[in-house]
Structure 1
Amino acid sequence: MIRYPFLKEGTTIGVTAPSSGLEPELHDMLRQAIRRMEEEGFYVSGGDTIWTQHKAKSAPAPLRAEELNRMLQDENIGLVLPPWGGELLIEVLEHIEYDRIGEKWILGYSDISLLLLAVTLRTGLATAHGTNLIDLRSGTPDETTAKWREALTTPPGGVIEQHASALHQVKWKHQLDEAEREGLGEDVFNLTEPTIWRSVSGGDVGMKGRLLGGCVDVIRHLIGTPYGDVRAFREAHIPGEPVLWFLENCELNTADLRRSLVQMKLAGWFENCSGLMFGRSPANTPVGGYTAEDVYRDMAEELGVPVLHDIDCGHMPPQLTLINGAMAEVEFSEEQGTGTVRQTLK
């Protein structure tokens, strides 16, 4: 069975950087995000690692792990929320004390999805793939992003229903000129493009299964390690139940994406798979005319399952809060180009 934490109002949020911290010129942004959480009624306990960044990591792996373990074991902390992702969280995995993790949520995406998936696979504790702390520094988050709080305060047995966003972002705020940035005010995201979910097969799609997933760039490196044993997780925690995978691509070209997905298949990750959902991607550079749509089509044909893409997940916000381990029902309308994800915490 899957164990679901419950986020109590007014609890303490532990902010640590198991991947990347923030350089001094970005500290004001971090302080703003912390203030927003305090204004929302939470206490914030910040670690030392969030304020430092050197050689692609916030601190050496043992220090990052020590701080993370302390927060994961602190009964007063109800949510561990890193500031953002990064590059080298994988160095921390072997130092985590998995059998001592308390009943609490871990929320994030990008490199943090490596931690999320490893924890769920090793322990059966549900983890939340969604926004990071830095993206919550706005006082008025969009409806899709704001769902993180409802998702994490849903009690075990409850249902979380989320819908496709109306608009999404193609350029981050820092990529805009000064006038464009001023026009956004305090908004964190630059939501300009209509959101359209798509299906490989065409027509309406319905899928149901236990959610697992994350950023392909990093979770692929769990294959063959003690932290990526999907088969053992399925046998121990969801015997006989299908898995519905959500995946997103940060930086891979289409050939590398394809290689990674085939490796996942050969490792048995897609056994008893009910479907695949791919998030919008700022990458997916075609190789020799081989496009992302070709990759999705190849996977659909090989696995014999429905495949959706351009869903609200990953590095082109906003994104849904998807719970690793939750039972999900997904409904997609081809005519409207939208979808609904209904997660049951059972």
Structure 2
Amino acid sequence: MITYPILHKQDQISVTAVSSGVPPELHFLLKEAKEKLERDGYQVDIDDTAWTHKELQAAPASERAKALHVHLDKQPGVVIPPWGGHRLISMLEHIDFARIPHTWLLGYSDTSVLLLAVTLRTGIATAHGTNFVDLRGSTTDSTTAMWERVLMTPNGKTVSQRSSEHFQPEWQFDNPTPHIFHLTEPTEWKSIGGSSVQGRLLGGCIDVIHHLVGTPYGDVAAFQRDKLGGKSILWYFENCDMNTSDVWRSLQQMKLAGWFDHISGIMFGRSSANQAVEDLTIELVYEELASELQVPVLYDIDCGHMPPQVTLINGAFADVTVENGKGIIVQEFRE
């Protein structure tokens, strides 16, 4: 059974760095996001980890886990790390999963290691979507803004999201816009082997979550059996900086570990990585995967490091359709 937290306006938003903190020269990003969300009616609590960064982490693993538990014990509406990073996986062994309350965890990139582990271990839904620093600015684009509506969806209800009109090809921190992103390129969702797919969502940043294979935090078979009653999984992945050979090897590792047993399909976010190794293009990787697994593969969806992105709920039932380059994702918060 999957259980879903629920967010309310005026809830507290807790910000703790589960991976990388924010260096001093970028502290203004935290301050601007805090001011924006407080104007929107939330209470924002940012702890010390968010303001520190050394050796690719905000603090040692045990300290990051302790800080996370301090926030979770207060049961805020949502915990949102400032952003991702590199070294989150080291804190998993310091987390008491039995103590995790029904509180939303939201983020992407390295944060998705925590999100996936929590859902697999506890059955509590987690949210793959925006990071805290991307919620600053005087306005929010319509795709990113859906994070609130999704997290406010009651148990048993549905929420629908549509693909964006345009996406951001590169980051420009020194050239801010009212809605943060530079959405200049037309969005086009694509599909192989079918344009419609349904299943229970699981996923994250492929660079980091494939490292959960074979660990106590990546037991997909037990989750599917005990929490989903054997229902099909619809995987989604986004790629930060892996080339096509790296992506292919990671997918093969997941397949051999049984992560792709009884799946209904796979979705991939667009990526500025995906660099071809010789003549192995990312499209060929997707085509081989669709043929090998005999499931639809949808790609270039709004997910990951080329914003904006939809908010995908680990554990929720999703019905996804791609037609004429546009996509619709309907998520139902089924137990």
Detail structure 1 runs of 4+ shifted over 4 Å in the superposition. none
Secondary structure in structure 1 of the residue aligned to 2:255: helix
1:93 aligns with 2:95: no
Q: Which residue is equivalent to 2:53?
A: 53
1:199 aligns with 2:208: no
1:302 aligns with 2:292: yes
What are the superposed Cα offsets for residues 247-299 of structure 1, whole Å, 9 maximum, x if unpaired?
Answer: 01111000010000000000000111000000001100100110000110111
What are the superposed Cα offsets for residues 229-257 of structure 1, whole Å, 9 maximum, x if unpaired?
Answer: 00001111101210000101111000010
Report the alpha carbon displacement of residue 99 of structure 1 after superposing the two structures with TM.
0.4
Q: Which residue is equivalent to 2:332?
A: 344
- Is the 8 Å Cα contact of residues 74 and 102 (structure 1) preserved in structure 2? no
Name stretches of at least 5 consecutive residues in structure 2 with no aligned partner: none
What are the superposed Cα offsets for residues 62-100 of structure 1, whole Å, 9 maximum, x if unpaired?
Answer: 11110011112223x121010000000001111011001
Secondary structure in structure 2 of the residue aligned to 1:49: helix
Q: Which residue is equivalent to 1:106?
A: 105
What are the superposed Cα offsets for residues 26-78 of structure 1, whole Å, 9 maximum, x if unpaired?
Answer: 11111111111111111111111000000000011111110011112223x12
1:311 aligns with 2:310: no
Q: Which residue is equivalent to 1:43?
A: 43
Equivalent pairs, count: 334
What are the superposed Cα offsets for residues 155-191 of structure 1, whole Å, 9 maximum, x if unpaired?
Answer: 11111100010000101123xxx7xx2xx53331010
1:220 to 186, 198, 210: 210
1:288 to 272, 278, 296: 278
1:186 aligns with 2:178: yes
Name stretches of at least 5 consecutive residues in structure 1 with no aligned partner: none
Bigger Cα displacement from structure 2, 252-261 vs 165-174: 165-174
TM-score, normalized by length of structure 1?
0.95
Letter in 2 for 1:345: F
Letter in 1 for 2:13: I
Letter in 2 for 1:280: R
Tell me, in whole angstroms, the C-alpha distance in 2 between the residues paired with 1:139 and 1:269.
41
Task: Map 1:206-285 onto structure 2 (within 5 A).
Answer: 206-285=196-275
Tell me, in whole angstroms, the C-alpha distance in 2 between the residues paired with 1:285 and 1:32.
34
What are the superposed Cα offsets for residues 102-155 of structure 1, whole Å, 9 maximum, x if unpaired?
Answer: 111000000000100000000000000000000000121110000000000111
Q: Which residue is equivalent to 1:132?
A: 131
Tell me, in whole angstroms, the C-alpha distance in 1 between the residues paired with 2:8 and 2:180.
26
Letter in 1 for 2:59: A
Q: Which residue is equivalent to 2:81?
A: 82
Tell me, in whole angstroms, the C-alpha distance in 2 between the residues paired with 1:52 and 1:58.
5
Letter in 1 for 2:38: E
Letter in 1 for 2:25: E
Tell me, in whole angstroms, the C-alpha distance in 2 between the residues paired with 1:314 and 1:332.
18
Q: Which residue is equivalent to 2:160?
A: 161
Identity percentage of aligned residues: 54
What are the superposed Cα offsets for residues 186-228 of structure 1, whole Å, 9 maximum, x if unpaired?
Answer: 3310100000001123xx6110100000000000000010000
- Structural RMSD (CA): 1.0
Letter in 1 for 2:12: T
TM-score, normalized by length of structure 2?
0.98
Letter in 2 for 1:38: E
Report the alpha carbon displacement of residue 10 of structure 1 after superposing the two structures with TM.
0.5
Letter in 2 for 1:53: H
